[in-house]
Amino acid sequence: MTMILGISAYYHDSAAALIQDGNILAAAQEERFSRKKHDARFPRHAIAYCLREAGIGLAEVDEVVFYDKPLVKFERLLETYLSHAPRGLRSFIAAMPVWLKEKLYLKSTLKKELSALGNCKPRLLFAEHHQSHAASAFFPSPFESAAVLCLDGVGEWATTTAWIGEGNRLQALWEIDFPHSLGLLYSAFTYYTGFKVNSGEYKLMGLAPYGQPRYVATILENIIDLKDDGTFRLNMDYFNYCTGLTMTHSRFDKLFGGKPRKPESPLTQKEMDIAASIQSVTEEVVLRLAKTLHRETGKDYLCLAGGVALNCVANGRILREGPFKDIWIQPAAGDAGGALGAALSVWHQHHDGSRSVKGSDSMHGSYLGPSFGRDQIRAELDALGAQYEELDDERLIGRVAEWLEGESVVGWFQGRMEFGPRALGGRSIIGDPRSPKMQSVMNLKIKYRESFRPFAPSVLAERVGDYFELDRPSPYMLIVAPVKEDLRLPTSEEHKFGIDQLHVLRSKLQAITHVDFSARVQTVHEQTNPRYYALLKAFERRTGCAVLVNTSFNVRGEPIVCQPADAFRCFMRTEMDYLVVENFLMTKSAQAKWEKDEAWMKEFELD
């Protein structure tokens, strides 16, 4: 049997993934173990977990493959940077961004890190960045044949690539190269509106429905030259990411009438309109590219990966308005998923390993992280002084359904941890979607995050069409769909603008209905998550509603919880009512008073 370990690291969201003869055994991001959000360091803890899950040591790994290539097309990169950098080599090196500097020493750094894990030396291979993305999108997909589109900030050189996947092979078609990048364009607007690059893009997408796309013409006339086929070029006069310390240039500020918003300062209608505008432009680029790829390949199906593929609003438009019969998005579409793609690429492309398509994807619901047994859970909870009771499944699920019906907020920790940025019922905070107060309570008292941010629904897969304009599975919360008309409430919003729209009752499922009547849907399947499915069924029996609010089990600025101890600490530091860790139930009122860590709380306070 061939064991292949894939690694992504050194840019953001480092991760490890382990496959055996093409079958995915384990995958996890380093941040979940280190507790450092978007940890980019060498994923030593994630690697240790993957090996432990398989019951092997590093000596039994046949090959280690990195998701990026050192110095690929480096001469072209040098030409680009020299054209923007100040004269002189020292100034040039100082101006290089971190992601490029690290390529200078990548191979030796990896060998040193691997040696520190053990005396053995597995064969070290490298896949190209977008090859890793494409492999992560196509090889685990449920399609025998498909077009593949990858969009991100930047790999070695490419920022957008198109591929054809057939059986166990991928063929590159064309690419758009740095510095012309849809991902970096979106990140530039993330920066300008006062959010953090590489983590605040979700906020920008969530803010967009509060605004009007008043700046679309400004963007298209000045910043991006968009062709009918979706290909594009950016006007680099407005950007600073090639050589500077910021994303945008002073010309960008002048074009939009002021300097970037300061983080945590009040949001204005301007930021909302800018968010709506760049979201509209992004959707148009992606939709045009998808149509072009369909026309060029004639394929019925499309696979997506790269950071831009996490833009679930754009994905929803491809599904509704695009020419493909269906689409599939890698649940860890960003750099973390590159670890898995790199490993799969070596198995299928390098070893000509077989690939079996059985009508469903091979991601195991993306539940690829660690799980915890009864003894370890008890030990961790006892060490923290937790007060708990242990119940069998039937009584536990009935009790939790009752709590949810009473508008309580529950931390739900069970099974294997999810791989990727979305909580899918393994490490989730859940609530009643019918509650008018649930969004505000969860945002301000549980997550300690901005009040405008929407929450996602988990829905029984067989009932998704009863609640949303969606006729197919969406297991990874990567497709936005409209809430059904018959669930919407009549609204009068003539005098409601910006954040004021948040307080308008608009749906019978108020907590998961965004201001534009959309929702980021997760369908729950009995085959991949039987316990979460059983909870939804129990809630449906009590209330007639087959939907729950589902948000990730963390607070703003902190990674999703991994271990039982992480879950209990988060539970005690927030205003969650109950915590469930496998069969252990905890009530907040039964716990000894915790002295809140003021430094920890200060980090997550909102204005």
> Of 23, 3, 2, 34, whose CA–CA distance to 15 is shortest?
34
Phi, psi of 127 (to 5 degrees): -105, 155
Do 339 and 311 belong together in one domain? no
Task: Kindly state whether residue 282 falls inside one of the protein's structural domains.
Answer: yes
Residue 269 resides in a domain: yes
Residue 344 and residue 396 in one domain = no
Rounded to 10 deg, the angle between the 269-297 and 182-192 helix axes is 170
Residue 158 placed within a domain: no
- The answer to whether 409 and 511 are in contact (CB under 8 A) is no
Q: Helix and strand tally (H, E) in the chain?
A: 21, 21
Which domain range does residue 13 map to?
A: 3-132+333-364
**Which residues, listed in sequence order, are joined to residue 560 by a DSSP beta bridge?**
none
Q: Are residues 255 and 356 in the same domain?
A: no
Give the separation between CA 529 and CA 541, rounded to whole angstroms.
19
Last-in-domain residue among 312, 343, 364: 364
Domain assignment present for residue 510? The answer is yes
pLDDT at 569: 96
Q: What is the DSSP string of 293-336?
A: HHHHH--SEEEEESGGGG-HHHHHHHHHHSS-SEEEE-TTTTHH
Distance CA 402, CA 397 (A): 9
Q: Are residues 390 and 422 in the same domain?
A: yes
**Could you give the number of structural domains in the chain?**
3
* All residues at 6 or more sequence positions from 548 whose CB lies less than 8 Å from its CB, including other chains: 404, 430, 431, 432, 433, 457, 458, 535, 536, 539
Dihedral pair phi/psi, residue 143, rounded to 5° = -110, 135
How high is the pLDDT of residue 415?
Answer: 98
Instruction: Answer yes or no: do 319 and 457 share one domain.
Output: no
pLDDT number for residue 469: 97
Can you list the alpha helix ranges (DSSP code H) found in 406-526? 438-441, 464-467
- Which CATH number belongs to the domain containing residue 384 in this structure? 3.90.870.20
Examine the domain organization and report whether 568 and 433 are in the same domain: yes
Please identify, among 301, 328, 355, the residue that sits at the C-terminal boundary of a domain.
328
d(CA 65, CA 404): 45
Assigned domain for 61 exists: yes
* Same-domain check for residues 338 and 408: no
User: Are 186 and 125 part of one and the same domain?
Assistant: no
> Does residue 343 sit in the same domain as residue 412?
no
Contact (CB, 8 A) for 39 and 73: no
Does one domain contain both 384 and 494? yes
CA angle (6, 9, 14) in 5-degree steps:
85
At 51 the pLDDT is 97
pLDDT along the chain (607 residues), means of 10: 96 95 98 96 97 96 93 55 55 56 72 86 92 98 98 91 98 96 96 93 94 97 98 95 81 96 93 97 98 98 97 97 97 98 97 92 98 98 97 97 97 98 98 94 87 92 98 97 95 62 86 95 97 98 98 94 98 96 97 68 43
Q: What integer pLDDT is reported at residue 597 of this predicted model?
A: 58
For residues 283 and 337, state if they share a domain.
Answer: no
299 within domain boundaries: yes
What CATH number is associated with residue 205?
3.30.420.40
The rounded distance, in Å, linking the Cα atoms of 413 and 430 is 10
Residues in the chain: 607
The single-letter DSSP state of residue 355 is: -
* Tokens describing residue 544: 């007639």
Q: Tell whether 156 is covered by a domain.
A: no
Contacts of 40 (CB under 8 A, 6+ apart): 9, 10, 11, 12, 13, 14
Give the Cα separation of 41 and 170 in Å (integer): 29
On whether residue 545 sits in a domain, the answer given is yes
H-helix or E-strand spanning residue 74: helix 74-84
Residues 46 and 195 in one domain: no
pLDDT number for residue 69: 87
Name the CA radius of gyration of the chain, rounded. 23
